[in-house]
Structure formats: structure tokens, C-alpha cells
Amino acid sequence: MAGLYVHFPFCAAKCIYCDFYSRVRKDWKPYVEALLREIRERSEERKGVHPTTLYFGGGTPSLLPANQLARVAEEVTTGHLFEEFTLEVNPDDVTADKAAAWREMGANRISMGVQSFNDNHLRWMRRRHTAAGAVAAFGRLRAAGFANLSLDLIFGFTGLTDEDWLHSIAQALALQPEHISCYQMMGRWADPDEDRCRQQYTLLQERLEAAGIRQYEVSNYARPGFESRHNSAYWTRAPYLGFGAGAHSFDGDRRRSWNQPDIDAYVASRPGGSETLTDREILEEKLMLSLRTVQGLSLASLSPAERATLKQTTLEELSRAGKLIVEEGRIRIPAAELFVSDAVIRRLFPD
Ligand code: SF4
């Protein structure tokens, strides 16, 4: 299942933890023109890929005037039926008018960056909304008819206690979203206490499971049937096309290309780059992506040469240590070890 991604690299302010490519500026008109041009110029590629999911991400796409977003949506969706059309939003952009316009342009899934339900933490992160603002925004999205809503949360940052964390989880669950994505703080603001981070991860797994929101990937949880199709396709190495500054495209095999990761360079149509993956990089990618999911990796999806590089002794060792389950032609990481999935997966990389 192939996907189509459109990047909107604008933010009203930069959050302290964020290293996505985005800029605090408002000259989105020339950017939208450049996007429309790129989408038209690459229409043949789309025909070859048949994308079934569409994702408007950022940055903060919700910051753009609804009519500008709608122009891009129209260009992309005309003549195409997307099963899932996700729009990333920030709570402070969600007015009743914008929510209605987003429905009108065809979005059927919203991913809202809430991050925390503690106002002190939100201020510290330099988020623009409050906890009450996020709750109100969620209500407006429901009122506009969105039946597939996802919330983003962050854990594992300095100063976050288990009590704070349980409060944020409870507030998120009270809204009854269909989906929750939850990321561990990385870099400068990460809590160095590994045990506390792990405890917060486990608390999240337990509370969401009890509420019927099941984990399907290291950072993603959904009510059955509401797993993100777009992101799930990334983990199977399905092809995708990316439009906009810094957006990547992938042919589903070994070629990846990207646009200039800079608004001005992109608007000026400066060419981006590309790479061809080696056999080793492909295998590492397959392991890294599939083993992040609760379904894990089907050994049948590997070529005989790739299977031969998986060291039986390492598989047995990890299995004996309870870090890997090998059964029915699949290998997967048990829920209790997903917190350290990266370390487990790297053990399987070829020498
Ligand atoms: S709004 Fe989103 S993309 Fe923009 S700086 Fe904050 S986290 Fe990053």
C-alpha cells in the first residue's frame, strides 16, 4: 500500500525538543505555488505508484489558511481515491471554521500534537496551547465530524514524574481518541534515568491496553481498525512519494530521493539528492522497521541470502533472554522489551 506525503515546514514557534525541518515564517504562498508545481510535474510517478493514503505533515500544516491547504489537497486528490487522508494539527489552530474546511477538503483523520496535559510542561516545551485548549480543540474536531482522531504525547523528559505522566494519560483517555502516538524525549531534555523512562513507557502500555487501545508499534497505539495505514506502510517498506521541502520518496526497493530541506531552495526548484541502498542497508532497514511493530518480521519476506545472514546463535541467545520471540516463521520483540527495541534489533545486524 503506497502513500503520498506532503510537507508543510512552517511553525508559529519552535518547540524546544523539535528537530524536524520547520521555520517560523509565514510566506506560505510561494511555497504552496512550488508545491502545486511539484505535484503537477511528478504526476506520472503517482500513476506508477497508486498511493492509497495521503498525509499532510510538518511543521504545522494547520497553521496555513484553510484555503491554501485546500488548493494543495485539490491538486493531489482530484482523480484519486485515498482511503486515509491525515492532517497534522496543533490544538491552537483548531477553530470550528478550520475544522469544517479540513473536512471539506477531504481529510478523514487528524493527528493532533498535544504532548502533555500539564500547563507548566507545555509552557516549558514552548507549546502554544494549554491543556484546556487541547480538550476544546478535540471537541471542535469531533463536532466537525472527524471520527478518527489521534493524539501525540511525550514522556521521558526531565522533571516528568510518574504522577504527572499518569495524569496526562488519563486526560488523553478521557477524550476517547481512536489512536495515540507517544514518543520518548530525546537529546538535551531527555531524562537520564533509564529506569524511570522505562517505567513511564510501561505505565502507558498498561493504561492504554486496559482502555482497549492496543499497541501496534513501538510508539503507536490504536483501537482495533484505527491503526495508521500511512505509517504502517512505511514499516513494510512500501513505496511512497514525498512532496515539499525536505520530503523523501522511496521506490519500495533500493532507491530513495529527497527534496532540498530548505524552503527557499525548494521554492527556487534547486534539485535535491538521492541514494541507492546497498544489500546490507536494505536488510538493516527491514529489520529496523518491521521489528518495531508488534507483528514483527516474517522470515518469508527475506531473501535466502538475507536469511542466511541472521545468526542463529544470536536469535537463540535473544530468545532465551526473553528479548525476542521466534515462532511460526516470524520473529518479534515482546511488548515488555519494545522499550529497548533498537538495542535488540542492532544485535541482529550483519557483522
Ligand atoms: S509545532 Fe511541531 S513541527 Fe513545529 S516546532 Fe513544534 S513539534 Fe516541531
Per-residue pLDDT of the chain (351 residues; tens, 9 = 90+): 799 999 999 999 999 999 888 899 999 999 999 999 999 999 989 888 889 999 999 999 999 999 999 999 999 998 888 999 999 999 999 999 999 999 999 999 999 999 999 999 999 999 999 999 999 999 999 999 999 999 999 999 999 999 999 999 999 999 999 999 999 999 999 999 999 999 999 999 999 999 999 999 999 999 999 999 999 999 999 999 999 999 999 999 999 999 999 999 999 999 999 999 999 999 999 999 999 999 999 999 999 999 999 888 899 999 999 999 999 999 999 999 999 999 999 999 987
Top CATH class of 278-351 equals mainly alpha
Q: Per-domain residue ranges for the chain?
A: 2-234, 278-351
Q: Rounded to 10 degrees, what is the CA torsion of 161, 164, 167, 169?
A: -60
At residue 128, the pLDDT reads 94
Give the per-residue pLDDT at 232: 96
Q: What angle do CA 145, 151, 152 make, to 5 degrees?
A: 155
Ligand 1 neighbour 9 (Cβ under 6 A):
no
Cα separation, 246 vs 105, whole angstroms: 24
Q: Kindly give the distance from the C-alpha atom of residue 124 to the centroid of ligand 1, in angstroms, as a whole number.
A: 14
Angle CA 175–114–239, to nearest 5: 100
Counting Cβ atoms within 10 Å, is residue 71 exposed (0-12), middle (13-18) or buried (19+)?
middle
To the nearest 5 percent, what fractions of the chain are helix, strand and coil? 45, 20, 35
Q: From the CB of 116, is ligand 1 less than 6 Å away?
A: no
Question: Which residue's CA is the closest to the ligand 1 atom numbered 5?
Answer: 14
Give me the residue label for grid cell 534489533: 345
Which cell is 192 given? 537520564
- Alpha-carbon 138 to chain mean position: 19
CA 115–ligand 1 middle distance (angstroms): 11
- Ligand 1, residue 126: give the atom nearest the CA: 6
Coil vs helix vs strand at 122: helix
Q: What is the dihedral of CA 239, 284, 190, 113, to 10 degrees?
A: 10
What is the 77 CA–ligand 1 centroid distance (Å)?
Answer: 26
Pocket test for ligand 1, best of 10, 17, 18 (most atoms within 8 A of CB): 18
Confidence (pLDDT) at 1: 73
φ, ψ for residue 2, nearest 5 deg: -90, 155
Q: What does the pLDDT read at residue 149? A: 98
Chain position carrying cell 510538518: 58
Q: What confidence score (pLDDT) does residue 312 get?
A: 87
CB 150, CB 181: distance < 8 Å:
yes
Residue 2: CB partners within 8 Å, gap ≥ 6? Answer: 49, 50, 51, 52, 53, 233, 238, 239, 240, 241, 252
From the list 214, 236, 234, the residue with the least C-alpha distance to 226 is 214
- Counting atoms of ligand 1 from 1, which one is nearest the CA of 128? 1
Dist. CA 103–CA 297, nearest whole Å: 36
Give me the CATH code for the 2-234 domain, please.
3.20.20.70
Ligand 1 near 60 CB (within 6 A): yes
What 8-state DSSP symbol labels residue 105?
T
Pocket lining: 20 vs ligand 1, CB cutoff 6 Å? yes
State the distance from the centre of ligand 1 to the C-alpha of 37, rounded, in angstroms.
26
